[in-house]
Amino acid sequence: MSVTRVTVIRGLPLDDVAAARGWLAECRDAATADDQVDEALRLLNRTIQAHRVSAGDPYAADIGRSRARRVRIGYGSGDELVEGRARDTQELPAKGRRRSRRRMLAPEEQVALILGGRRSTYPSEELLLRARLDLDQGRTREAALQFRAAHAALTAEVAGGEAGAEARATLEQHAELADRAGTAALERELDAEQAAELEQAIVETERLVRRRRHAEAPDRA
């Protein structure tokens, strides 16, 4: 298994060593450190996206923090950082994905069910994941277009299934937003208010999809 080390350097340098030490001390706060890592990942994924589009390579995938074996934050001179060294660093703890509910199936259980033919996968699930990824990476136009497609797919899936009134109401509630945001995305990036509305719609749709996945799980008694 190959391991790639990536160093992301901020575009605006710190004034001096004292300022760098102060900045690193601030990063001992978990929320501040997470913001720094998220910013670095967005820059890294912009680079990967540029390569993906330029090379026409659909398999050049974005990277998330869960894929990293080790994450460090630190500072150093330009020469040190270019050479992959740093003057001082701190390592961040591993960050796993939280379970949405205590009774929700673990990913490995779901994989076994899918591969064993005991659970189906749906187009809406893939499309919704892509919408979430694009939104997290600041690609609001792509996120809006993916969400419109995910919403349309999920609406069709629910129409042919046994979804409850709450699921149908959630989809109806977001139908106008999905169309409006998707139309706006054909011309420009979404503004902050539109992006916030899209975020909320994605969150609620993700909740709906999780409930369906849980409801379709075979009884493990």
DSSP string, 54-116: HHT-TT-----GGG-S-EEEEE--HHHHHTT--SEEEEEPP-PPPPSSTTSPPHHHHHHHHHT
pLDDT of residue 102: 41
Chain centroid offset of residue 191 CA: 19
DSSP 187: T
Low-confidence ranges of the chain (pLDDT < 50): 99-103, 221
| 37 close to 73: Cβ distance less than 8 angstroms | yes
pLDDT at site 194: 96
* Domain ranges, ordered by start, for the chain: 17-92, 107-216
pTM: 0.80
| Cβ neighbour number for residue 121 with a 10 Å cutoff | 10
pLDDT for the residue 42: 93
Look at residue 120 and give its three-state secondary structure.
coil
- Position 32 scores a pLDDT of 93
What's the rounded Cα separation, in Å, for the pair 119 and 110? 8
Q: Which residue has the tokens 């999809």?
A: 209
Question: Would you state the pLDDT for residue 221?
Answer: 45
Token readout for 21 is 């030490």
